[in-house]
Amino acid sequence: MLDHTHDAATLSWVGSANDPATDFPLQNLPFCSFRSQGTLEPWRIGVGIGDQILDLTGWGLTDMNALMARSSVERRALRHRLFDTLKAGSPQVDLVPQSGAEYTLPCRIGDYTDFYTGIHHARAVGKLFRPDNPLLPNYQWLPIGYHGRSSSIVVSGTPLRRPKGQVKPPDADQPVFKPSARLDCELELGLFVGPGNALGEPFSIDEADEHAFGLTLLNDWSARDIQPWEYQPLGPFLAKNFGTTISPWIVTMEALAPFRIPFTRPMEDPQPLPHLDSPAHRANASFDIGLEVWLKTPAMPEPVRLSRSNLRHAYWSLAQMLTHHASNGCNLQPGDLLGTGTISGPQPDEAGSLLELTAGGKQPITLPNGETRIFLLDGDQLGLRASAEKPGYRRIGFGACDGVILPAR
């Protein structure tokens, strides 16, 4: 639903929010959990505006999960109040500069589920793991997903220790336990659940938006040499759960409303079963959100963009992920996180993982300074970025999702 808070003509009294390049114009208003750098102050709920943060403590908002549990009507009312407070002409209030802030996870993440909705990624990776059978028959009938690890989700800027694990070289008789030599990233968005559903009580596809609070960037770090040995028959485990990095900011579904696009599927593909389909859903369940992967190395301090993609390439919508997840009665809760899976585009240079960009490790990437990479080396910093852009609307950015690799212990 579009309203006056999406009007690009309205400026903020915060000067930096009016910069066309900012991630956080008045029309975005993303949430975070922050405090002053280097202090042990309690974490506070904040809203990003330009290069500043509006502290919501004085608004009586101290529990992000409680805020996320609010209905879409209440969420919209809060957005309107934030918009009014920060728009040009309103009385100025104290702000906290982002340059002096540090962040933690924006909310308590009870359960984390990772989906696999990027069909180009699924095909490319499937080809490497199962050359004869890249895309399994269920892929086009249900949004494949699995449970991830909540405890090891960290906020952007947290260094990541290279994991050790069991690796079985194809020609060896038995596995060895050693540091991963095929450490990879995965370019994803994460959907934060708003209001939950009770155990045993599914909801319909047309009710799904009510349960969607907002999006964050998500890097699903992956150890590609641990994964093939461990993943059958119960799925990825230690190849993934050593760490997942998210951006500090939750961009609300309200901020993203102008970037909704129709959700369609090639006519020749199986169409979704009735509980995952509806006219309203087809009309606007996809999103035009640009995604990028960036790399910085110790010898190359100027980051280089490795890849560009877009959420519109997802084969399953956010609403379908939510509806499918709860379709058996599974209870979703405010603050739960649903990863989209790696969103690769159809072109080779639109891939969201090094595994794909290097054709399974066979074609090294050459960086501008002459270095090459197959997978990540110690000291490398991997960053994800995202933004929604459309003529007539302000650019909605997602902030940074960065992590640097520490050597194995």
* Residues labelled catalytic: 121
Q: Which of 119, 237, 175 is nearest to 127 (CA)?
A: 119
Q: How far is the CB of 34 from a second copy (least distance, A)?
A: 21
Q: How far is the CB of 98 from a second copy (least distance, A)?
A: 25
User: How far is the C-alpha of 245 from the C-alpha of 106, rounded, in Å?
Assistant: 12
β-bridge mates for residue 260, sequence order: 287
For position 161 contacting a second copy by CB under 8 A, the verdict is yes
What are the respective helix, strand and coil percentages of the chain, to the nearest 5? Answer: 20, 30, 50
Give 70 or 164: the residue with its C-beta nearer to a second copy.
Answer: 164
Do 167 and 302 form a contact (C-beta atoms < 8 A)? no
What part of residues 369-388 is at the interface with a second copy (CB under 8 A)?
Answer: none
| Tokens 């209001």, residue located | 195
**Residue 187 CA: distances (Å) to CA of 24, 140, 312, 353:** 21, 21, 14, 7
Q: What is the DSSP string of 33-91?
A: EEEETT--PPPEEEEEETTEEEE-GGGT---HHHHHTS-HHHHHHHHHHHHHHHBTTSP
> Given candidates 123, 149, 282, 312, which one binds a second copy under the rule CB under 8 A?
149
Structure tokens at 73: 């009507």
Q: Degrees (nearest 5) of the Cα angle 306, 308, 311?
A: 140
For position 148 contacting a second copy by CB under 8 A, the verdict is yes
User: How far is the C-alpha of 32 from the C-alpha of 255, rounded, in Å?
Assistant: 15
For position 360 contacting a second copy by CB under 8 A, the verdict is no
What part of residues 310-339 is at the interface with a second copy (CB under 8 A)?
Answer: 324-325, 327-333, 336
Q: How far is the CB of 271 from a second copy (least distance, A)?
A: 10
Give 109 or 255: the residue with its C-beta nearer to a second copy.
Answer: 109
Judged by CB under 8 A, the stretch of 67-75, 139-147, 248-256, 366-374 that binds a second copy is 139-147
Cβ within 8 Å of residue 14, ≥6 positions away: 26, 49, 50, 52, 86, 95
> Given candidates 39, 92, 99, 232, which one binds a second copy under the rule CB under 8 A?
232
> Given candidates 59, 237, 294, 393, which one binds a second copy under the rule CB under 8 A?
237
Cβ within 8 Å of residue 393, ≥6 positions away: 6, 8, 27, 258, 259
Give 18 or 331: the residue with its C-beta nearer to a second copy.
Answer: 331
For position 284 contacting a second copy by CB under 8 A, the verdict is no
For position 15 contacting a second copy by CB under 8 A, the verdict is no
Give 205 or 374: the residue with its C-beta nearer to a second copy.
Answer: 205
For position 242 contacting a second copy by CB under 8 A, the verdict is yes
What part of residues 178-207 is at the interface with a second copy (CB under 8 A)?
Answer: 199-202
β-bridge mates for residue 289, sequence order: none
Give the chain's end-to-end CA distance (angstroms, integer).
Answer: 50
Q: How many residues bind a second copy (CB under 8 A)?
A: 66
**Residue 221 CA: distances (Å) to CA of 117, 121, 128, 141:** 17, 15, 18, 27
Judged by CB under 8 A, the stretch of 31-39, 123-131, 256-264, 358-366 that binds a second copy is 123-131
Q: How far is the CB of 319 from a second copy (least distance, A)?
A: 16
Give 235 or 303: the residue with its C-beta nearer to a second copy.
Answer: 235
Number of alpha carbons in the 13 Å side-chain half-sphere of residue 143: 29
> Given candidates 145, 248, 352, 383, which one binds a second copy under the rule CB under 8 A?
145
Structure tokens at 100: 């002096």
Give 141 or 366: the residue with its C-beta nearer to a second copy.
Answer: 141
For position 274 contacting a second copy by CB under 8 A, the verdict is yes
Residues that bind a second copy (CB under 8 A): 110-111, 116, 126, 129-130, 136, 138, 141-142, 144-152, 154, 160-161, 163-166, 168, 174-177, 199-202, 223, 226, 229-238, 241-243, 270, 273-275, 324-325, 327-333, 336, 406, 409
